[in-house]
């Protein structure tokens, strides 16, 4: 309770304690001075925005979002395209959509390269992102500093529990753009990109590193 009270006091200005200012000035120079100061040693970044600036359509914007343009896939409801149970029975709609979203068609934004700059200066502790587009990797972020909470297109695995064969980005790309349903070369099971579908758990790495912060 005391921790919560202190947090609210500092961030919202509640209680008797005045919030301790982080920046000496609310401007880009002020941010720059803070980043170069002794008070800023490790920076954690939370990614989840910036898709629109990179040209990637979002999911829910009326008229332009992905969910508004899925009529051609004959889905029972828009979200079904990302449900693991539906995918296992009907993978075709997802892989048709994947051709439109596949990594390599979009470029990192200035925000992605800012994270890279923090890394190069030794200031980036970790980058958490819910994006699945691999743009953080394209910008040059070290995978060891990257936590992809909703998974990634960067790798794929066979869905059969007895197999779980791993495949890389180039392997999956070749099959998606050949309009083939990706099948495991080892057991002929269905292969899915390592993005988190509805009905799946978040990656164990997310929880392990979240507890270490």
Catalytic residues: 150
Which SS3 state, helix, strand or coil, does residue 198 take?
A: strand
Burial of 76 (0-12, 13-18, 19+ CB in 10 A): exposed
**Is 187 known as a binding-site position?**
yes
**Is 163 known as a binding-site position?**
yes
Place of tokens 């390269």: 113
Burial of 113 (0-12, 13-18, 19+ CB in 10 A): middle
Count of other CB atoms within 10 angstroms of residue 155: 16
Count of other CB atoms within 10 angstroms of residue 47: 21
Q: Could you give the CA distance from residue 173 to residue 194 in angstroms, rounded to a whole number?
A: 13
Count of other CB atoms within 10 angstroms of residue 67: 17
User: 111 — phi, psi (to 5°)?
Assistant: -65, -40
What residue numbers does the annotated binding site for Zn(2+) cover? 158, 163, 184, 187
Question: Which residues are part of a known binding site?
Answer: 158, 163, 184, 187
């Amino acid at each position: 309770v005391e921790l919560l009270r202190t947090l609210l006091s500092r961030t919202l200005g509640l209680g008797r304690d005045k919030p301790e200012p982080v920046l000496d000035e609310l401007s880009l120079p002020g941010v720059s001075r803070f980043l170069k100061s002794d008070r800023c040693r490790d920076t954690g970044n939370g990614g989840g925005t910036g898709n629109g600036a990179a040209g990637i359509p979002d999911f829910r914007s009326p008229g332009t979002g992905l969910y508004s343009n899925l009529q051609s896939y004959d889905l029972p409801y828009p979200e079904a395209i990302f449900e693991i149970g539906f995918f296992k029975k009907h993978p075709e709609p997802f892989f048709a959509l994947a051709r439109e979203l596949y990594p390599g068609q979009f470029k990192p934004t200035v925000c992605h390269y800012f994270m890279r700059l923090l890394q190069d200066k030794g200031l980036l502790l970790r980058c958490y992102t819910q994006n699945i587009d691999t743009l953080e990797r394209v910008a040059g972020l070290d995978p060891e500093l990257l936590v992809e909470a909703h998974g990634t297109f960067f790798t794929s695995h066979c869905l059969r529990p007895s197999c779980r064969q791993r495949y890389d980005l180039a392997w999956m790309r070749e099959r998606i753009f050949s309009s083939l349903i990706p099948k495991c070369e080892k057991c002929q099971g269905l292969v899915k990109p390592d993005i988190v579908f509805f009905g799946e758990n978040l990656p164990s790495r997310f929880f392990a590193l979240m507890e270490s912060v």
